[in-house]
């Protein structure tokens, strides 16, 4: 009997040892699950998660910011035109003038397509075929005859004109430059709807200033008298290259 009790006691002892080992293994497994596997620290997941969430929120936040700006501009413009006040007249004039310029329109269109995704549901005027451009109609800037024709060095033509002849804008546009240029003296540069520029040189006086909006045929200055004769320089710059003005304007 004693040996039987001893045998039972040893069996219980071995079971207790096995339970202890199993509990230790289970505790290690639980600890390993909490800490993560391998050499990756447990906190890396918690650190990366906010960055991933932030990255996912960036497009939405950017989109919302863009639409807020669009709506502010739209509401501000609508407010200006809804108030019949003399104070808003200059602003209305500036908006109307800016939107009639092809350069400004192209800039607004590019901005609109970039930030508003070019949605025609918002601004139908921006949709459609913009490849077709109206052919610009030019007028002779001054009364006179060509004395020196266009060449690559001159970049324009020189006309002999009556004394103190009036110089007019060849087309409607915005005065981009007024001032002195080496070799041309007093010079006016006008930018037109399709981005083309007209250059008026050797002027006695200039009747416009930069950023003025001039109509076709408006007087912008007079020709300067040089060596008992009056000469006038005229050039056309299109797509950043000078072209022969006589090819588009019928000089006498």
Cα–Cα distance list, 32 to 22, 130, 237, 251 (Å): 15, 65, 75, 92
Identify the pLDDT of residue 114. Answer: 52
Contact call for residues 241 and 156 (beta carbons, < 8 A)? no
Identify the pLDDT of residue 142. Answer: 94
Mean pLDDT across the stretch 100-123?
A: 49
pTM of the model: 0.50
193 φ, ψ to 5°? -60, -35
Contacts of 123 (CB under 8 A, 6+ apart): 112, 116
Identify the pLDDT of residue 103. Answer: 47
Of the listed ranges 38-42, 85-89, 136-140, 172-176, the one predicted with least confidence = 38-42
Contacts of 93 (CB under 8 A, 6+ apart): none
Q: Which residue, 208, 65, 58, 234, is CA-closest to 138?
A: 234
The tokens of 144 are what?
């006179």
Identify the pLDDT of residue 70. Answer: 75
To 10 degrees, the CA torsion angle through 190, 192, 196, 202?
-20
Q: Name the residue with tokens 């006691």.
A: 9
- Name the band, by pLDDT with cuts 50, 70 and 90, for residue 111: low
Distance CA 229, CA 163 (A): 7
């Amino acid at each position: 009997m004693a040996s039987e009790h001893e045998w039972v006691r040893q069996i219980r002892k071995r079971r207790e040892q096995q339970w202890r080992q199993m509990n230790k293994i289970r505790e290690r497994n639980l600890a390993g699950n909490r800490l993560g596997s391998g050499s990756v620290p447990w906190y890396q997941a918690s650190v990366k998660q906010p960055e991933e969430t932030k990255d996912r929120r960036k497009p939405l936040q950017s989109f919302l910011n863009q639409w807020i700006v669009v709506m502010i501009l739209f509401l501000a413009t609508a407010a200006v035109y809804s108030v019949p006040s003399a104070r808003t007249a200059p602003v209305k004039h500036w908006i109307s003038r800016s939107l009639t310029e092809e350069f400004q329109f192209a800039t607004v269109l590019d901005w609109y397509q970039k930030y508003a995704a070019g949605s025609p549901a918002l601004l139908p005027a921006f949709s459609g075929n913009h490849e077709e451009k109206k052919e610009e109609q030019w007028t002779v800037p001054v009364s006179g005859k060509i004395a020196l024709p266009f060449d690559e060095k001159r970049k324009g033509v020189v006309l002999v004109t009556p004394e103190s002849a009036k110089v007019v804008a060849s087309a409607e546009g915005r005065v981009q430059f007024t001032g002195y240029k080496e070799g041309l003296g007093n010079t006016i540069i006008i930018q037109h709807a399709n981005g083309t520029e007209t250059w008026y040189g050797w002027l006695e006086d200039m009747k416009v200033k930069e950023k003025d909006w001039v109509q076709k045929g408006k007087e912008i200055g007079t020709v300067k008298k040089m060596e008992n004769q009056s000469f006038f320089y005229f050039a056309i710059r299109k797509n950043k290259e000078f072209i022969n003005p006589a090819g588009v304007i019928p000089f006498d």
